[in-house]
């Protein structure tokens, strides 16, 4: 029986390299950078993360051509896992005022889990309203992010897409290819997905995310019983980059006793508090959502393969990952839709 743990998931594809040293008369080191690393997560129908799969369980195609998987690593192998660069993008528009008090502590918890103190992982905090503000630049001190969360101000519209674009082109900008040391890059959006003030389009933002190998996750702030058209933006951003959208306030009280559905004078049905457990249900839902996101980032498979053609063409390449196990059980596989070849500097 396969071991399953309850966690979140992530997925994305970061193009990393495999280094091989060869001793020559001049003691030069040759580096094979023509290798693609594909982070992949697999969950069952209940969202539980499978943690003991092997290389033989996966099949990978690039641009429709089957490729041979050279190796597989897991999130448990911290020694060989590339460092993390994580950005928290916080909605500071007028519409976000209502939920921020509820989410504030959870966002702080997220910062501490993504950027453990004195570790090699780093993160930054960015806020967006009618404009975009870099609130805390890249740091390995989560306390700086947590403190800044207590001093944010809301107002204006929402420039979510501009915030993602700036995060990808500035804090997570494409650099010369670093081989095995190439950091994993993620963005976590905390908002409802609406955008009223951005200059960049959704397609432009997706291009920059894929070019920089950035995986986008989203913690939706849309309350249960409401609908925000902007959530479609979050769905597309996360699916195309291999991330996940979680909706902690989507019927958080479904397992809590004491809620009664009562017809109101206006004719609609609403849930009213029966036992005073509403806050507890919200906090538990937020805790589970943070666990899902962090679990997916911290625990993932990375499949390495050599691409069918060299990186020099610079063209977008699609990726498809399948598993033979899907014929036996209902599984969800998440990975980036594709990538742009990295910039490689010849030594």
Could you say which DSSP state residue 243 is in? -
Whole-number pLDDT of residue 117: 84
> Which region among 18-22, 49-53, 226-230 has the lowest average model confidence (pLDDT)?
18-22
Per residue in 116-150, pLDDT tens?
887 889 999 999 999 999 999 999 999 999 999 99
Q: What angle do CA 238, 253, 293 make, to 5 degrees?
A: 25
Share of the chain above pLDDT 90, in %: 38
pLDDT band at 346 (very low <50, low <70, confident <90, very high): low
Whole-number pLDDT of residue 239: 93
Residue 8 has pLDDT above 90, yes or no: no
Q: What's the chain's average pLDDT?
A: 78
Residue 12 has pLDDT above 70, yes or no: no
Residue 267 has pLDDT above 80, yes or no: no
Residue 105 has pLDDT above 90, yes or no: no
Whole-number pLDDT of residue 226: 54
Tell which wins on pLDDT, 74 or 225.
74
Residues 73-78: contacts with CB under 8 Å, at least 24 apart: 73/301, 73/302, 73/304, 74/299, 74/300, 74/301, 74/302, 75/298, 75/299, 75/300, 75/301, 76/51, 76/299
Beta strand residue intervals within 157-203, DSSP E: 184-191
What residues contact residue 217 under an 8 Å CB cut-off, 6+ apart? 10, 186, 187, 188, 189, 238, 243, 244, 245, 246, 293, 296, 297
Global pTM reads 0.80
CB contact at 8 A, 38 and 60: yes
Q: How many CA atoms lie within 13 A of 1 on its CB side?
A: 3
Sorted by where each starts, the structural domains of the chain and their CATH numbers stand as: 4-80+300-339 (no CATH), 84-295 (3.40.50.410)
In terms of Cα–Cα distance, which of 235, 135, 213, 110 is closest to 168? 213
Per residue in 158-189, pLDDT tens?
999 999 999 999 999 867 766 556 788 999 99
Per-residue buried b or exposed e for 129-152, using 16+ beta carbons within 10 Å of the residue's own CB:
bbebebbbebeeebebbbebbeeb
Give the whole-angstrom CA distance, residue 310 versus residue 62.
12
Could you say which DSSP state residue 14 is in? B
Residue 79 tokens, joined: 């020694």
Residue 85 tokens, joined: 């660069």
H-helix or E-strand containing 95? none
Whole-number pLDDT of residue 199: 96
Whole-number pLDDT of residue 216: 94
Per residue in 330-341, pLDDT tens?
888 989 999 988
User: Rg for the chain (alpha carbons), in Å?
Assistant: 21
In terms of Cα–Cα distance, which of 124, 114, 203 is closest to 171? 124
Which range of 46-60, 212-226, 247-261 scores highest in mean pLDDT? It is 46-60
Only one residue has tokens 């992949």, namely 40
> Which region among 69-73, 134-138, 221-225 has the lowest average model confidence (pLDDT)?
221-225
CB contact at 8 A, 89 and 164: yes
Residue 11 has pLDDT above 60, yes or no: no
Tell which wins on pLDDT, 164 or 192.
164
Residue 305 has pLDDT above 70, yes or no: yes
Mean pLDDT of 197-226: 87
pLDDT band at 33 (very low <50, low <70, confident <90, very high): low
Share of the chain above pLDDT 70, in %: 72
Whole-number pLDDT of residue 329: 75
């Amino acid at each position: 029986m396969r071991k399953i743990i309850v966690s979140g998931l992530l997925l994305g594809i970061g193009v990393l390299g495999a280094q091989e040293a060869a001793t020559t008369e001049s003691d030069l080191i040759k580096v094979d950078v023509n290798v693609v690393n594909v982070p992949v997560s697999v969950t069952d129908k209940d969202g539980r993360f499978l943690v003991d799969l092997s290389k033989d369980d996966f099949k990978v195609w690039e641009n429709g051509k089957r490729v041979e998987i050279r190796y597989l690593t897991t999130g448990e192998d911290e020694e060989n896992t590339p460092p993390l660069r994580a950005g928290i993008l916080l909605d500071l528009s007028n519409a976000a005022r209502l939920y921020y008090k509820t989410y504030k502590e959870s966002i702080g918890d997220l910062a501490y889990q993504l950027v453990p103190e004195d570790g090699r992982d780093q993160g930054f905090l960015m806020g967006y309203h009618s404009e975009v503000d870099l609130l805390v630049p890249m740091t390995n001190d989560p306390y700086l992010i947590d403190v800044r969360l207590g001093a944010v101000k809301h107002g204006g519209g929402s420039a979510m897409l501009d915030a993602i674009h700036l995060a990808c082109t500035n804090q997570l900008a494409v650099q010369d290819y670093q081989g095995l040391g190439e950091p994993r890059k993620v963005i976590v959006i905390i908002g409802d997905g609406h955008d009223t003030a951005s200059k960049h389009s959704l397609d432009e933002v997706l291009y920059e995310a894929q070019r920089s190998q950035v995986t986008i996750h989203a913690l939706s702030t849309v309350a249960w019983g409401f609908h925000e058209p902007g959530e479609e933006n979050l769905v597309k951003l996360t699916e195309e980059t291999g991330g996940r959208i979680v909706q902690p306030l989507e019927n958080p009280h479904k397992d809590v006793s004491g809620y009664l559905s009562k017809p109101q004078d206006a004719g609609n049905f609403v849930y009213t508090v029966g036992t005073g457990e509403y806050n507890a249900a919200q906090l538990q839902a937020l805790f589970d959502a943070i666990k899902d996101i962090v679990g997916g980032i911290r625990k993932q498979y990375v499949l390495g393969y050599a691409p069918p053609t060299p990186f020099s063409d610079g063209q977008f390449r699609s990726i498809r990952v399948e598993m033979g196990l899907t014929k036996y059980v209902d599984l969800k596989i998440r990975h980036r839709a594709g990538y742009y070849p990295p910039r490689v500097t010849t030594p």
